[in-house]
Amino acid sequence: MAEDTFLTDDFLRQLINVGEVDILVGLPTHNNAKTVGSIVKAIQSGILRWFPRERAVIINADGGSRDGTPELVTSISIDDVRRGPNPYALRTLHSISTKYAASPAVPAAFRTILAAAELLQAKACVVMSPESSSTEDEWISKLLRPIRNDGFDLVTPTYRRHKFEGVLITNLLYPMTRALYGLRLREPYAQEFGFSGRLGGEFLSQNVWDDGAAGSGIELRFTLAAITAQHRICQSFLGQKDHIEQRGSDLVPALRQTVGPLFSALAPDFPFWSTAVGSQPLLSIGPDHELLLDLVRVNRKRLREMFTTGVAELATVFQSILSPDTLAELQRVALLGENDFAYPAELWVKTVYEFAASYHKSVISRDHIIQALAPLFRGRALAFLMEQRNGSEQDVENCIESLCLEFERLKPYLLQMWKSRE
């Protein structure tokens, strides 16, 4: 299939039948039969409850599931979800599904959803994660209302999370995007988010779809595109987000999906972020975020071993990426005893910035750079967990805030390296 016809004829036929819509809900899936049923019901219920008059469609972009996911999506009837005193659905609610030809990956799914949104002239769109068991019908309202009613172009979520969940977000993605792009956006890499048809159309026409590094973290690129184009953005509190257990070996793919696109975006976005000063708060609907403080078991020994082994084994790689001072400091940290272990904020920020600059310069393979960050991130995560093991919600928040300020304070350091390495 030619690249300029990535929508199948069958999908196009289904879109013709749907026609113009007010609301489009995108559901990218790949073997999500266990969870997708309840999510579709939540979506339908949300549309019934909050947008009964709007023309709406659910677009399922499936990456070739073999567990019946698409069939589940299209088979759930609106009659299954009627609720409340006014259960009547005024309109036909279409659920349509298409398989995209590319390998199961989010970019193709998201591109399909954006294309559908453009063809259907959707005014407001939302992408929902197919693998959350905590999805509530209210999420539809919380992500779409600011777009439908208040003219926002992007609504990112905030959640109630455990304080040690999303460490990659709290220790890297949030503080770095905040420092560079000047906006305090808590979840730059969101799996549930709302956006206007206008923003979707703009992004669809951008030349990002063939960028391999960006492709795997297209949601982050989407967020950054909204920021750089100075669209109206807000955050909406969704509530508790269930925790998906991740194995240690999932870290590298996670870094590829998040840090890769972030680093990748820095070059094209340089005119924007290089001139942004400080950071601005973002309108938050509901609480900014909430933390849960339950005790969790952390295998500190394992994390520390992975950090120290990585520092030792990847020394030659780090020599290409890091400055001698930063590398020496990391090697000193690697020698610290388990109880004394610390990975100070300044050192972590310099580490990340030097990785970003090296990524830009492609001092070695960009994917190797991302992989090399994994043991260092584990070290930083260990330090964060140890420091905040008994921390209150406020303590944790203070810690993240001070890290953000450190990212902001050292932004000139990144600029200096960026320019010196050009």
Partner 1 sequence: MPLTQDVLWYKDAIIYQVHVRTFYDSSGDGIGDFQGLEQKLAYLQDLGINAIWLMPFFPSPLRDDGYDIADYNAVHSSYGTLEDFRKLLDSAHSRGIRVIIEMVLNHTSDQHPWFQESRSSQDNPRRDWYVWSDTDHRYKGTRIIFLDTEKSNWAWDPISKSYYWHRFFSHQPDLNYDNPAVREQMWNVMKFWLEMGVDAFRLDAVPYLVEREGTNCENLPETHAILKDFRKRLDEQFPGRMLLAEANQWPADLRPYFGDGDEFHMAFHFPLMPRMFMGLKLEDRKPITEILQQTPEIPPTCQWSLFLRNHDELTLEMVTDIERDYMYDSYAENKTMRLNLGIRRRLAPLLDNDRRRIELMNGMLMSLPGTPIVYYGDEIGMGDNINLGDRNGVRTPMQWSGGWNGGFSTAEPDRLYAPLIQNPVYGYPAVNVVSQVGSGHSLLHWMQSIIAVRSSTAVFGRGSIDFLHPANHRILAYVRRLGNESVLVVNNLSGTAQAVELDLRRYKGNIPIEMFGKNIFPRVGELPYLLTLGPYQFFWFRLRRI
Binding residues vs partner 1 (CB under 8 A)? 13-14, 16-17, 19-20, 52-53, 55, 85-86, 88-92, 94
Token pair in block for residue 79 = 């009659």
Q: Least Å distance between CB 88 and partner 1?
A: 5
Q: Please, where are the H alpha helices in 76-156?
A: 106-119, 138-150
Shortest Å distance, C-beta 18 to partner 1: 8
* Beta carbon of residue 140, minimum distance to partner 1 (angstroms, whole number): 17
> Closer to partner 1 at the Cβ: 94 or 289?
94
CB of 210 to partner 1, least distance (A): 32
Q: Which is nearer to partner 1, 21 or 180 (CB)?
A: 21
Least distance from C-beta 284 to partner 1, angstroms? 31
What's the closest the beta carbon of residue 16 comes to partner 1, in angstroms? 6
* CA 56/CA 93 separation, integer angstroms: 6
The letter for the amino acid at 199 is L
Considering beta carbons, is residue 19 or 278 the nearer one to partner 1?
A: 19
CB-CB contact of 73 with 109 (8 Å): no
Nearer to partner 1, 49 or 162 (CB): 49
**CB 57 → partner 1: shortest distance, Å?**
10
CB 331 within 8 A of CB 323: no
CA separation, residue 17 to residues 8, 9, 110, 122 (Å): 14, 13, 21, 14
Q: In the complex with partner 1, which residue's Cβ is closer, 80 or 288?
A: 80
SS3 76: coil
For the bound state, the minimum distance from the C-beta of residue 119 to partner 1, rounded and expressed in Å, comes to: 13
Closer residue to partner 1 in complex, CB, 20/313: 20
Nearer to partner 1, 96 or 106 (CB): 96
Q: How many residues does the chain have?
A: 422
- The CA distance from 220 to 405, in Å, is 21
Question: How many Cα atoms sit within 13 Å of 345 on the Cβ side?
Answer: 18
Distance CA 360, CA 349 (A): 16
Rg (CA), the chain: 22
Residue pair 130/32 in contact by the 8 Å Cβ criterion: yes
Q: Which is nearer to partner 1, 80 or 250 (CB)?
A: 80
Which ranges of 300-410 would DSSP assign to H, the alpha helix?
A: 300-313, 315-321, 324-334, 345-361, 366-387, 393-409
- Residue 400 contacts by C-beta under 8 Å, 6 or more apart in sequence? 170, 171, 174, 175
